[in-house]
């Protein structure tokens, strides 16, 4: 992508993630022409408590849009997607009444455990196909009602990140129908239902200069749209700070062990069965710090490492785990260490464990078709190959593509008459070379035994 200013009209997609806000300007055929990125901050304000300043997140969006405007021609439309879940309490103008509570937060873990024992979690899943976890909106609303009722009194809206961005950019207070508002009254929070913004299909407004802004579905469906997941049974793996696994389905399945999310999509009669594990590359970052290495060392460590005899459970989030099962008590572990274990062995075992977790999630989600993968973690070819080997199937890696922003731009483009569809993405296909069946079976056995001891 060139930084030379172009006169070509563009559609902009914004993806406000947990740690980065990315904005990409696309041509009418979907070619990325310019990109802008800003870091955002997550504050750890207590053990397992994570918050963000909504004003700083909105500022990061404004800054990326301004940077793109200096590089591109006229903007035809802007699409916005963002991190999901959490609790973003704002006033009538979309200004925060308190810091946003992140989806990573674990302060509502006790509430989730109580709802699990009472059967409320299971009932919610049987109704919606979505299982609540500590960082979901309803448990956090319940926490706020018990501990910060004054915050709820000051708030006009209990929003998601993308909703706040839409309101601050356009003044429109709205969300999309994919947000599971029926869980709020089910959880005994009916008196706060007025805080939920009106649901609209493709909520939209206009910037002061008249540019239309469309709030796309939140980051998981937007990423699937951007990656070109269109066939029932096809799936997507996103290896970022978290590990998101999802499969396109034609019915909401509420049977089996409750876990994950069932999300409406851009297609009528299609849903995404999403199982987003709490930790992806964050587990690798932890392992690299443990052995005093950096991500630049990863290719060499993977080539040198031998994980034989090691089993890692990558459940390192302080809030526990949410996929392919929900347990706020879940914790990571490394089994099989001995005096001869080398740093490279530990790093490779952690990378393999994240791939095992992906297989566990994708199997539970019902993957039967093609698998497309993206995310910064897959920039390391050796790790991408580990995923193909562990999954036992080809994976098509979309290197360098901002699929969340692309999905947001695609949603915005649908509002523009006469605009052709974006061209499909290509990628590098990794075929499986080595069998991990025995090691994966051992991993599952360790998971099941650990679940009885947490």
Same domain assignment for residues 25 and 146: yes
CATH assignment at residue 128 = 3.30.420.40
From 215, 241, 257, the end of a domain falls on 215
Same domain assignment for residues 160 and 194: yes
The answer to whether position 4 is within a domain reads no
The answer to whether position 357 is within a domain reads yes
Count structural domains, the chain.
2
Total-model pTM: 0.91
CB 394 within 8 A of CB 430: yes
Cα 311 from Cα 334, distance rounded (Å): 6
The answer to whether position 184 is within a domain reads yes
Same domain assignment for residues 48 and 195: yes
The answer to whether position 2 is within a domain reads no
Same domain assignment for residues 194 and 247: no
- The SS3 call for residue 10 is strand
Please spell the DSSP secondary structure of 156-193, one letter per residue.
SEEE-HHHHHHHHHH----B-TTS-TTHHHHTT-GGGG
Same domain assignment for residues 165 and 255: no
The answer to whether position 183 is within a domain reads yes
Same domain assignment for residues 151 and 234: no
Cα 115 from Cα 269, distance rounded (Å): 30
Same domain assignment for residues 349 and 276: yes
Same domain assignment for residues 196 and 49: yes
Cα 420 from Cα 432, distance rounded (Å): 36
Same domain assignment for residues 127 and 184: yes
CA-to-CA separations, 314 to 318, 415, 436, in angstroms, rounded: 12, 42, 17
For residue 260, what are the domain limits?
226-451
φ, ψ of residue 119 in degrees (nearest 5): 90, 0
How would you write the pLDDT of the chain (454 residues) with one tens digit per residue? 555 667 889 999 999 999 999 999 999 889 999 999 999 999 999 999 999 999 999 999 999 999 999 999 999 999 999 999 999 999 999 999 999 999 999 999 999 999 999 999 999 999 999 999 999 999 999 999 999 999 999 999 999 999 999 999 999 999 887 656 788 889 999 999 999 999 887 778 999 999 999 988 889 999 999 999 999 999 999 998 899 999 999 999 998 889 999 998 988 899 999 999 999 999 999 999 999 999 999 999 999 999 999 999 999 999 999 999 989 999 999 999 999 999 999 999 999 999 999 999 999 999 999 999 999 899 999 999 999 999 999 999 997 778 999 999 999 988 777 776 788 898 999 999 999 999 999 999 999 999 999 9
The answer to whether position 322 is within a domain reads yes
Same domain assignment for residues 312 and 204: no
| Torsion sign (Cα): 366, 182, 320, 379 | positive
Same domain assignment for residues 247 and 188: no
DSSP 295: G
Angle ∠(126,128,129) on CA atoms, nearest 5: 70
The answer to whether position 151 is within a domain reads yes
From 158, 193, 215, the end of a domain falls on 215
CA-to-CA separations, 312 to 104, 210, 291, in angstroms, rounded: 21, 53, 15
Query: What number of H helices and E strands is found in the chain?
Result: 14, 20
φ, ψ of residue 100 in degrees (nearest 5): -65, 140
From 215, 243, 264, the end of a domain falls on 215
The answer to whether position 237 is within a domain reads yes
Same domain assignment for residues 234 and 130: no
Dmax of the chain from CA atoms?
66
> Angle between the 120-128 and 109-118 helix axes, to the nearest 10 degrees?
80
């Amino acid at each position: 992508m060139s930084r030379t200013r172009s006169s070509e009209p563009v559609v902009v997609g914004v993806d406000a993630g947990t740690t980065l806000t990315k904005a990409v300007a696309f041509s009418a055929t979907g070619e990325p022409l310019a990109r802008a990125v800003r870091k955002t901050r997550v504050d750890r304000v207590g053990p397992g408590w994570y918050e963000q300043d909504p004003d700083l997140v909105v500022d990061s969006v404004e800054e990326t849009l301004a940077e793109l405007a200096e590089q591109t021609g006229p903007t035809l439309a802007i699409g916005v997607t963002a991190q999901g879940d959490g609790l973003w309490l704002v006033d009538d103008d979309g200004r925060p009444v308190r810091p946003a509570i992140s989806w990573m937060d674990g302060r509502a873990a006790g509430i989730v455990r109580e709802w699990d024992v009472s059967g409320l979690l299971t009932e919610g899943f049987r109704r919606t196909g979505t299982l609540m976890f500590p960082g979901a909106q309803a448990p956090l609303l319940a926490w706020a009602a018990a501990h910060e009722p004054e915050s709820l009194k000051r708030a006009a809206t209990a929003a998601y990140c993308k909703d706040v961005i839409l309101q601050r950019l356009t003044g429109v207070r709205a969300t999309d129908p994919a947000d599971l508002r029926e869980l709020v009254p089910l959880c005994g929070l009916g008196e706060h239902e007025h805080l939920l913004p009106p649901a609209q299909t493709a909520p939209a407004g206009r910037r002061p200069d008249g540019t239309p802004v469309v709030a796309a579905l939140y980051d998981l469906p937007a990423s699937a749209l951007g990656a070109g997941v269109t066939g029932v049974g096809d799936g997507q793996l996103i290896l970022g700070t978290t590990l998101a696994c999802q499969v396109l389905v034609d019915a909401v399945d509420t049977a089996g062990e409750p876990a994950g999310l069932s999300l409406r999509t851009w297609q009528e009669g299609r849903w995404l069965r999403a199982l987003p594990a709490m930790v992806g590359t964050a587990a690798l970052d932890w392992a690299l710090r443990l052995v005093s290495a950096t991500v630049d060392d990863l290719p060499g460590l993977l080539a040198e490492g031998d994980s034989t005899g090691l089993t890692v459970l990558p459940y390192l989030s302080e809030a526990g785990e949410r996929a392919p099962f929900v347990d706020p008590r879940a914790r990571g572990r490394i089994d099989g260490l001995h005096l001869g274990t080398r740093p490279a062995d530990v790093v490779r075992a952690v990378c393999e464990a994240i791939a095992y977790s992906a297989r566990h999630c994708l199997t539970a989600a019902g993957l039967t078709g093609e698998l497309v993968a993206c995310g910064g973690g897959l920039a390391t070819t050796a790790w991408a190959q580990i995923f193909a080997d562990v999954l036992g199937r080809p994976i098509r890696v979309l290197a360098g593509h901002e699929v969340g922003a692309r999905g947001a731009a695609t949603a915005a483009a649908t509002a523009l008459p006469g605009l052709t569809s974006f061209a499909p993405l290509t990628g590098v296909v990794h075929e499986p070379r080595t069998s991990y069946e025995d090691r994966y079976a051992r991993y599952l056995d360790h998971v099941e035994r650990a679940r009885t001891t947490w």
